[in-house]
Amino acid sequence: MRLLLTGSTGWLGRHLAPRLAALGHEVTGLDVAPGPHTQVTGSVADRALIDQIFGNHGIEAVIHAGALHKPDIARFPARAFIDTNVTGTLNLLEAAVTAGHDRFVMTSTTSLMISQAVRDEVSEEAVWMDETYAPLAPRNIYGVTKLAAESLCRQVHGETGLGVVILRTSRFFPEDDDTHSDPPPENLKAIEFLHRRLTVEDAAEAHVVALEKAVEIGFGLYIASAPTPFTREDCAALKADAAGVVAKYFPEAPDLFARKGWKLPASIGRVYDATRMERDLGFRCRTDFAAILNALKSGDPMPFAHDGGFVSPSTLGASLITGGA
């Protein structure tokens, strides 16, 4: 298929574009910053540019992975999030419908599920989060605009029948956490595979499967995260003594972490459940917490990327974002 991939210079896009090309797709990458997989530099908020890309490249389907993200809150005004995440999504959906497309895939985020109360972990037990979790009360402009983009996808599907799959991805970016300094970044990423992380490779593969299944599914919204070993019955214990719960499932984990000089979590406040993605899409993330422990046992590199100096393409394409379209 001739595909438009937005966010092609970003962390996900630079992994997804070559995977799609290897499968025989003809990929046109669109991003605000140049990159090896980006053929067009510009903003999704520019409707004329979107129409031009569709016409010039004969686009047959869209994977909309481009967005302003949570770290961008410190760099851009709220209006830029609306222009990129909301108006940009609507531009792509309308162009897809006009072109007669039958499928559309959008990258969303589990961040929109995190209210301030969830963020502050006021509950006496871990919050179990699947696609039925409600009410949704995003705590920042990033979450608000991504939830609005999801709603646009749902509305357009209902009005036109366009096959849409939305993937609410958990964490997969390589940079340091912008809110936590303890435990150290690589240690934090490792323990997040228990409840709130996936590799970028798994995120990319989930999008490949979503593209294949979108027409069959019609409309689907899925949490994309590494499979958690926990169950709902663990939620109280996870809040009180997460390390003890981890040791119950993985008796070797305390010793392996100690040898590395790492810590197991004392408490876990929320767990993402990706069961529906596995059931409907037939996709299960390859890298999970067991893979982390296997790497610790063997001395192999961690099976995830960590780059404290990672620079988002949004910083390189700031003029296109703030300048509007």
What local confidence, expressed as pLDDT, does residue 178 receive?
67
Q: Is the pLDDT at 314 greater than 50, yes or no?
A: yes
If you search the block for the tokens 């006021």, which residue do you land on? 122
What band does 325 get if pLDDT is binned at 50, 70 and 90? very low
325 Cβ contact partners less than 8 Å away, ≥ 6 residues apart: 42, 43, 45, 46, 47, 48, 49, 83
258 Cβ contact partners less than 8 Å away, ≥ 6 residues apart: none
What local confidence, expressed as pLDDT, does residue 175 receive?
86
What band does 310 get if pLDDT is binned at 50, 70 and 90? confident
What local confidence, expressed as pLDDT, does residue 320 receive?
82
2-181+195-226+274-285+309-322 is a CATH 3.30.420.40 domain? no
β partners of residue 164: 104, 219
- By CB neighbour count within 10 A (0-12 exposed, 13-18 middle, 19+ buried), where does 73 fall? middle
What band does 231 get if pLDDT is binned at 50, 70 and 90? very high
Enumerate the domain spans of the chain: 2-181+195-226+274-285+309-322
Instruction: Write down the pTM of the prediction.
Output: 0.96
What is the pLDDT averaged over residues 105-116?
A: 98
pLDDT tens per residue, range 50-101? 999 999 999 999 999 999 999 999 999 999 999 999 999 999 999 999 999 9
pLDDT tens per residue, range 194-211? 999 999 999 999 999 999
Regarding predicted confidence, which is higher, 94 or 306?
Answer: 94
What band does 324 get if pLDDT is binned at 50, 70 and 90? very low
What local confidence, expressed as pLDDT, does residue 189 receive?
97
Q: Is the pLDDT at 316 greater than 80, yes or no?
A: no
Residues 10 and 293: their CA atoms lie apart, in Å, by 29
What band does 313 get if pLDDT is binned at 50, 70 and 90? confident
Give the chain's mean pLDDT.
Answer: 96
What band does 309 get if pLDDT is binned at 50, 70 and 90? confident
Residues 297 and 289: their CA atoms lie apart, in Å, by 13
**What are the residue ranges of helices labelled H in 58-178?**
78-81, 88-98, 116-119, 141-160
